[in-house]
Structure 1
């Protein structure tokens, strides 16, 4: 397989989309797949106003067609709904070739948090975008049910994983000198992450925030008692997870939350709202507390044994995530023009084909 992945999300962004695609590329190479990325680095681009790490590419369908001709991919996956994703979609439709997409971001909710745009309009636009794909990958069963209820079709499950060698329990002094218990958040500091719901809690000890984004200055001004450490990655991040006492995930809009698995892998229990992502990853595992009262959840999570969290994380591997990803691509491309088929019909068609 020679797979072209078109994505508007790429370095220097630090987010779950970029991490997932990087992991798929590594796993693909080990399986004989040749991944080719089409990213903002391949085109002239402009920074998104107020969010400079996100680049808006000045890309055209002809530019994507040139990439198709130059790389001659056998399969195409469109990871995002931005300028590159739209240009790649138009190019695939012009050539009559099948492609898959993935639904990473609750764009309607994110847009509604910033502008008076009805979510129904945004979802109608997204249905049209993904409706042309032979398969649309979603990260959790609850998200699949929700999108199906909104009229999305050809939905396929693609779960996420965690590097349990990097993210692991360890003795760590990364947060030495900070009064405990330490309640930690890791992620992008933007309005859609609902950080105020965490930072406004009346909790003992200290709240620690890792990450950066357009809302950082405002949040730091409102909450000088919290510790803002900026962006951390790799071993530095793993040591912070291992040194904290509870991971608090206040988002109401994430479709998964890879940081949940990173925290668990380091033995860190999770507190979260009962929404998509936490419900799929945490509910029923004993590795966290999910409740409408986030303060109650955070305090209760202090009593969870760290070994239980680690054991749950070991069930989520990038190897299984990659197996699903590439199997979905094979299924969708084999089905080809059956773009309106339901998943069961797609599976039946695959059996016919092979």
Structure 2
């Protein structure tokens, strides 16, 4: 089989980022095992540099910091992106974000007659609608929605295919008028994320007693993740007499604010962003419940990783991560990201029967439903399918 060169162009990638960074890192690990795949990635960085991970080449393009988003940068250098693409000569482009760099990548794809694939990593219209509605009202939200939908429709309509991780994501794309869509769920490596024996050791290191319920949040500390709802949630649990400790793992623009609130509460721990997957698996394994309060998710990497480590996950009904907890018995969803609703669902989850056997069964369910190799095998099959066809040239 001939060698195929794949290039990912990604805006939302930073030293502190989560799901998208995990996705492209896992993709590099997978491609390193294949002789007939060449892989490169273009991401923003603090300086121009080349880093090799496995066999994949990560091109960091010097970019300006993004205001209000700790660690993120704006990938705006058209000529640097095009120069890298001309050097690499990919057969297929994958575009991970709907921003300026996507249009640059599409420009190259049209010029060279190669297919471009979009991956719908974030429910951008829904997240923006919620923010605009909150601060400017429903009329402004409707006006913004009209323009955003038109923009995304034009962007993804120029791609040969757009991939979503769930049926809900595909529905969102179809509402935008995007016709060529595929569902390819994301996955987790069960050889990395599994129940660890050091569970009690890590709990002791956090100062969590045997009678405490350890509740975990892992992810970016950002407003759109609803992480600020978690401390009020655990306040309610403590007030109702349920012994609990909340451990918040990550970094972001809300870290200072959350740190001040945590300092006033002996039952809240703040842990820095964890770069090591091995250490992250130990943290997941130590918890009794991992809460994922986002309401505009397109999959839910954290939920899957936590469950692969044996820990029950709590997600919000209609929040986008429901697929990740299908098969959990009993399965409890929070009605909303309101602290009271989160607390009510957390009580049910924490008081449900649990044992080493149920934790291992949870790992096995996730390993069967969301194996990481299946994700990249399906993506690679799509890349080859599109590369073997004469690409459709869209009008500018």
TM over 0.5: yes
Instruction: Tell me what 2:323 maps to.
Output: 280
**Distance (whole Å) between structure 2 residues aligned to residue 72 and residue 338 of structure 1:** 18
Looking at structure 2, the residues matched to 199 and 332 of structure 1 have their Cα atoms a distance apart, in angstroms, of 47
Given the superposition, is the C-alpha separation of residues 339 and 317 from structure 1 closer, same or farther in structure 2, using an over 3 Å criterion? farther
Matched, 1:54 2:72: yes
Matched residue, 1:259: 302
SS at match of 1:174: helix
Name the residue aligned to 2:378.
324
TM-score of the pair, normalised by structure 1: 0.88
**Residue 119 of structure 1, CA deviation:** 3.1
Please name the residue that 1:24 is paired with: 27
Alpha-carbon contact 1:80-1:103 (below 8 Å) kept: yes
Q: Tell me the residue number matched to 1:2.
A: 5
Tell me the distance in 2 between the aligned counterparts of 1:285 and 1:279: 11
Q: Deviations over 1:5-39 (max 9, x none)?
A: 11123341321111111111221232221001122
The within-5 A match list for 1:112-261 is 112=129, 116=136, 118-171=144-197, 172=199, 173-176=201-204, 177-179=207-209, 180-201=212-233, 202-203=236-237, 204=242, 205-223=244-262, 224-225=264-265, 226-232=268-274, 233-261=276-304
Q: 1:309 aligns with which of 342, 351, 362?
A: 362
**SS of residue paired to 1:53:** coil
Show the counterpart of 2:56. none
Q: Is the 8 A contact 1:286 1:308 kept in 2?
A: no
The equivalent of 2:53 in structure 1 is none
Q: Write out per-residue CA displacement over residues 76-119 of structure 1, whole angstroms, 9 at most, x where no aligned residue.
A: 21122233222112222233432111110122344455555623
SS at match of 2:82: helix
Residue of structure 2 equivalent to 1:350: none
Aligned residues: 339
2:295·2:320 contact (CA, 8 Å) conserved in 1? no
Specify every segment of 5 or more residues in structure 1 that has no aligned partner in the other structure, as ranges. Answer: 341-354
Is 1:84 aligned to 2:101, yes or no?
yes
Please say if residues 106 and 254 of structure 1, whose CA atoms lie closer than 8 Å, have aligned partners that are also in contact.
yes
CA contact 1:187–1:210 (8 Å) conserved in 2: yes
Counterpart secondary structure, 1:330: helix
- Counterpart for residue 125 of structure 2: 108
Structure 2: distance between partners of 1:298 and 1:40: 38
1:59–1:329 distance in 2 versus 1, CA, 3 Å: same
Deviates more, 1:248-257 or 1:234-243: 234-243
State how far apart, in whole Å, the 2-side matches of 1:238 and 1:227 are: 18
- Distance in 1, Cα, partners of 2:214 & 2:63: 40
Q: CA deviation at 1:217?
A: 1.6
Distance 1:142 1:114, change over 3 A: closer
Corresponding residue number in structure 2 for 1:294: 342
Please list the CA deviations of residues 184-224 of structure 1 after superposition, one character each: whole Å capped at 9, or x if unmatched.
11110000001133322112311111111001222333453
CA–CA distance in 1 between the matches of 2:302 and 2:330? Answer: 14
- 1:15 maps onto 2:18 in alignment: yes
Contact 1:59 1:87 in 2 (8 A): no
2:308–2:367 Cα contact (<8 Å) kept: yes
User: 2:93 and 2:176 mapped to 1: Cα distance?
Assistant: 25
The answer (yes or no) to whether the contact 2:91–2:387 under 8 Å persists in 1 is no
Q: Does residue 1:70 correspond to 2:73, yes or no?
A: no
